[in-house]
Each structure stands twice: as C-alpha cells, then as structure tokens.
Amino acid sequence: MNSAQAIMFLKNNQPFTKDTEEKFEVIKKYNDVRVHFLNHPDPQCIPLFLNSFGEGSGFGVYQLIEDVLMKYSIEQVVPHLITALHSEHIGVRYWCAHIAASFPTPSLITPLSNLLSDPDPDIRCAAVTALSQIEDDRIIGLFKGVLEKETDPDVLEHIQEALTEPKLTSLTPK
C-alpha cells in the first residue's frame, strides 16, 4: 500500500457505517491504512481520519487513530478537528471529542462546549473530558452552567470530577 492508495481508501469511507461483522474485513484494511500513516506521515490523512469514524469502536481500531494524529502539530490537527466536531455523524463527533483531549487549546472551547448539549450523553462526557484538559479559566464557569441544566447522572458525575482536577482548581473562573 502506498500513500495515494491509503488516501483513496479513507476518501471512500467518510464515515464508516455502523460496526457489523460484514465490515470486519474493511476495518482490517482501515487498520493497515492507520499503520501506513504511522510509518509514513502525510498531513492529507488528518481530515480523512477525523471524518472516518462510524458508530461503534471500529473493532478496536478507532481508539488507535489518535496515535497517527499525534504525529502532527496542534496547528495541523486543530482546524480539521474543529470542523469534525460539528459533524452530523454521531461517531465522528464522539471520537473527535475524545481526540480533542490530546490537543488542549482554547480554540476548541467553543466547538466542545457546543457538544455539552449533544443528545448523546457519551458525547457530552467526552466533551467534558476534552474541555477539562484545556487550561483556561472559562472552563469552570462553563461547567458550572452546564451543571444547572444537565440531567444525566453520568455526565453530572463527570463534570463534578472534572471540577476537582488540579488543572482546573488552580484557575480563577471568569
């Protein structure tokens, strides 16, 4: 496999469909593409990986995509991440919110805060985790505002835990 073939594979799978046994062979090829870009970095793959996530775990491969993205600078990844966090696809929003935790920058506050009202509580939890990694005093006020409206017990617990993290407790809220 060369980079052009790997890019074409990713372009043809935007995003993947929900995990099914029939998709297992395709996910194995997806993993081969992931390994290719680990060994042969090419920034063209960044937006393609960020928009490739379907519903499910990709048979364990989705969580490994972050390793590829970590090969690139925050300046290379974040603009594409911001776009992907607005995706209509639940799998893309979910996995990109997880990936955002590894790229903590204030420019992600707005797209991640929008996910705090996502219908899916797992996406809300992932957004809380990512936001809690950003050292910005606006995060505390944001979390306190969400605490007043949130009804899901897991999300509430996640926010309360985040508010006790040393990274946030050292900040002064605006």
Q: How high does pLDDT run on average in the chain?
A: 93
Tell the residue number behind the tokens 């970590």, with chain if given. 70
Q: What is the pLDDT of residue 173?
A: 53
Q: What is the pLDDT of residue 172?
A: 55
Question: Can you list the alpha helix ranges (DSSP code H) found in 3-120?
Answer: 3-11, 24-39, 45-50, 65-69, 74-84, 90-100, 109-115
**N-terminal to C-terminal alpha carbon distance within the chain:** 51
Tell me the chain's radius of gyration from C-alpha atoms: 17
CA gap 166, 112 in Å, rounded: 20
Which 3 state secondary structure label does DSSP give 45?
Answer: helix
Q: What is the pLDDT of residues 68-122, one digit of tens each?
A: 999 999 999 999 999 999 999 999 999 999 999 999 999 999 999 999 999 999 9
Identify whether the C-beta of residue 80 lies closer than 8 Å to the C-beta of residue 48: no
pLDDT at 155 over 60: yes
Global pTM reads 0.92
